[in-house]
Amino acid sequence: MQRFFAILLFLGMFATPASAGEVGPSGNPLPRFISLAADKAYMRTGPGLQYPVVWVYKRDNLPLEVVDEHGAWRKVRDHDGVTGWMHVRLLSSRRTAMIIGGARRLFREPDRQTPVRLTADAGVIGDVLECDSHWCLMEIDGTRAWIERRFLWGLYADEMFD
């Protein structure tokens, strides 16, 4: 019997705090994407000011994934897989995405045969306006253009919106 409980305890160490399709205490789905609302934000090891700062972000609109909630704190994951806790006042429901994997062309229409509107380097962040299964319309520095969603971080594969 002790061995059984030891195994359950061991397996529990690897369980995620929120599995896909859950609703958190805030009433919002877990996990979900949001963005950084502050131009300087502290990521902490736990949900409170008493926990040490593990990372300082200096980039507003950075997309983040909320994976857990505790009161006014959200456990978030960034594009590098770094996780930690941030206070809700540092976060926004604004949907942004980051270009990944190198410089990417963004097109006038959701078709590679249409004219290129702009080229953006990896790490560039823009507002996500609309997405279908293959393309997303983004706004980057006032320019709207389409990019293949496989070149973006900050969206789920099956997520579509307009």
Residue holding tokens 């990019």? 147
Architecture of domain 18-94: Roll (2.30)
Topology annotation, domain 97-153: SH3 type barrels. (2.30.30)
Q: What is the pLDDT of residues 11-49, one digit of tens each?
A: 333 333 344 579 999 999 999 999 999 999 999 999 999
- This prediction has a pTM of 0.84
Decide: helix, strand or coil at residue 24: coil
Whether the bond between 31 and the residue before it is cis, its omega within 30 degrees of 0, is yes
Is the pLDDT assigned to residue 3 strictly greater than 60? no
| Residue whose C-alpha is closest to residue 35's, from 123, 85, 84, 94 | 94
Q: What is the pLDDT of residues 137-154, one digit of tens each?
A: 999 999 999 999 999 999
Domains 18-94 and 97-153 alike in fold: yes
Tell me the domain boundaries of the chain.
Answer: 18-94, 97-153
Buried b (16+ CB within 10 A) or exposed e, 53-63: eeeebeebbbb
**Higher pLDDT, residue 122 or 8:** 122
Q: What is the pLDDT of residues 62-121, one digit of tens each?
A: 999 999 999 999 999 999 999 999 999 999 999 999 999 999 999 999 999 999 999 999
Residue 160: predicted pLDDT: 85
